[in-house]
Amino acid sequence: MDKFVVYGGNPLRGTIEVGGMKNSALGILFGTILTNDICIIENLPPVSDITNSLEILRECGAKIKMLSRTSAEIDTRCVQPCQAPYEMATKMRASYYVLGAELGRFGKTKSAYPGGCDFGVRPIDRHIKGFESLGADVEIVDGCVCAEAKEGVLRGTSIFMDDISVGATINIMLAAVRARGTTIIDNAAREPHVVDLANFLNACGANISGAGTDVIKIKGVSRLFGTTYAIIPDMIEAGTYMMAAAVNDGSRVEIKNVIPKHLESITAKLIEMGVEIKEDEDSLIVEKNGRLSKVNVKTLPYPGFPTDMQPQMCALQVTAQGTSMLIEGVWENRFRYTEELRKMGAQISVEGRAATIVGVDHLNAARVKATDLRAGVAMIIAALGAEGRSEIVDIYHIERGYEDIVEKLRAVGANISREMIKEDEASANKVI
């Protein structure tokens, strides 16, 4: 078991390159099942969520060859339905994409009810309703979701989503792409990774239009073909490094391989706080001088401020001048990490989905834990600004989604390292 050790206070200066988008890659990797062919997927982020997804695909019968650290050749011709390994599927939220993809190709599927970060209740009723509208019978048996197309085929239909769900939009697209007839998803998620998946599927021969708007039209095709496809850059990884660059005075970081349009809501809030941002075609420069000002933020589905940037934003608001509000508009319970920031001296009070943050002068170094993926990285951001030695434990959460985070931050001057947790410390960690 390892921990991150951070000595805060250093300005960050230099260049950070962003990798491929984890959440986009997850949909596309499972989407390869639909092709019954060979795909080459490039710009995959080498993080544990991706290695686990590749492992699930392998267990389903796919043949996978890593062509480099970030590209994989995936042959799904021998995939058989209902083979997703139970334990692995329970650990990852996105394992539910195997359901849509297998249902779309074979007309039947079975996989464990998915796990993932704990933000309160995480139902999948919208996915299930979508599959049922397409003509599948769905039941939950022994902790598994089992679905089967009536008469062996799915039929295109109109689906109105009561509330926006990224995962349900993706899963319904996967199931509908080879269905008979046309499917319309109304009130669809508009996230860049929904568009990326549509682009990938269209490159394989699908007929999807409207991705990126709230009405997606999918004309079913009888088969798809393999292709070579590169995943888009990760806007959440980029946003996280933008926030890391906004912590200490004198920081100036160029963030490369980004799509500035995807970052607009983050850029706008940082500028409001007093951070200087210069955009170029596929990079941006973040510069911080002087104390940050308070800012009010509400997370919303894209193009709103992303919920996956909420803890990182909080890590900046805690030392901004004045009182900031942070409202969580997507998840029921995404403020568990604020307890950890309080250990560093942050003044945060949470009521339901709203946090009130009174900016303090500075944070104190402390020993904190990563309570989930984005909360974990928020601890790093907070520790970069706190004078002295901070320790972050339970870093496996962070490694699910951030490639080489220690190396990338060290390259711009952060004093961060990965160290082994000694046995006596490990037992002490249980009580922090």
Taking the complex as a whole, the smallest distance from the CB of residue 15 to ligand UD1 amounts, in Å, to 26
Residue 94 within binding range of ligand UD1, rule CB under 6 A? yes
- Point out the residues that are catalytic: 117
Taking the complex as a whole, the smallest distance from the CB of residue 331 to ligand UD1 amounts, in Å, to 5
Taking the complex as a whole, the smallest distance from the CB of residue 252 to ligand UD1 amounts, in Å, to 29
Interface with ligand UD1 (CB under 6 A), residue from 32, 307, 324, 390:
307
Q: Which residues of 222-250 are buried (b: 16+ CB within 10 A; e: fewer)?
A: eebebbebebbbbbbbbbbbbbbbbbbee
Q: Which of residues 151-190 bind ligand UD1 (CB under 6 A)?
A: 163, 165-168
**Contacting residues for 261 by C-beta, under 8 A, at least 6 apart:** none
Residue 399 within binding range of ligand UD1, rule CB under 6 A? no
Residue 330 within binding range of ligand UD1, rule CB under 6 A? yes
Which residue number, 226 or 376, has a Cβ lying nearer to ligand UD1? 376
Taking the complex as a whole, the smallest distance from the CB of residue 248 to ligand UD1 amounts, in Å, to 27
d(CA 372, CA 347) in angstroms, rounded, equals 21
Question: Token pair for residue 123?
Answer: 């139902």
Q: Please state, in angstroms and as integers, the Cα–Cα distance from residue 145 to each residue in 105, 156, 164, 210, 237, following that order.
A: 17, 21, 21, 29, 31
**Contacting residues for 396 by C-beta, under 8 A, at least 6 apart:** 48, 370
Q: Which residues of 126-139 are buried (b: 16+ CB within 10 A; e: fewer)?
A: bbbbbbebbbbebe
Which residue number, 10 or 52, has a Cβ lying nearer to ligand UD1? 52
Instruction: Point out which span in 150-158, 225-233, 329-337, 339-347 binds ligand UD1 (CB under 6 A).
Output: 329-337
Question: Token pair for residue 214?
Answer: 């709230």
Amino acid at 302: Y
Strand partners, 348: 357
Instruction: Point out which span in 3-11, 121-129, 205-213, 238-246 binds ligand UD1 (CB under 6 A).
Output: 121-129
Residue 93 within binding range of ligand UD1, rule CB under 6 A? yes
Which residue number, 22 or 408, has a Cβ lying nearer to ligand UD1? 22
d(CA 165, CA 130) in angstroms, rounded, equals 11
For residue 35, what is the DSSP state? Answer: G
Taking the complex as a whole, the smallest distance from the CB of residue 268 to ligand UD1 amounts, in Å, to 18
Q: Which of residues 16-35 bind ligand UD1 (CB under 6 A)?
A: 23, 26
Taking the complex as a whole, the smallest distance from the CB of residue 163 to ligand UD1 amounts, in Å, to 6
How deeply is 114 buried, as exposed, middle or buried, from its count of CB atoms within 10 A (0-12, 13-18, 19+)? buried
Instruction: Point out which span in 117-125, 194-202, 217-225, 387-395 binds ligand UD1 (CB under 6 A).
Output: 117-125
Q: Please state, in angstroms and as integers, the Cα–Cα distance from residue 138 to each residue in 130, 145, 159, 167, following that order.
A: 10, 7, 16, 17
Q: Tokens 């689906």 belong to which residue?
A: 159
Residue 124 within binding range of ligand UD1, rule CB under 6 A? yes
Which residue number, 93 or 397, has a Cβ lying nearer to ligand UD1? 93
Interface with ligand UD1 (CB under 6 A), residue from 105, 126, 367, 408:
126
Could you list the residues that contact ligand UD1 (CB under 6 A)? 23, 26, 93-94, 121-127, 163, 165-168, 307-308, 330-332
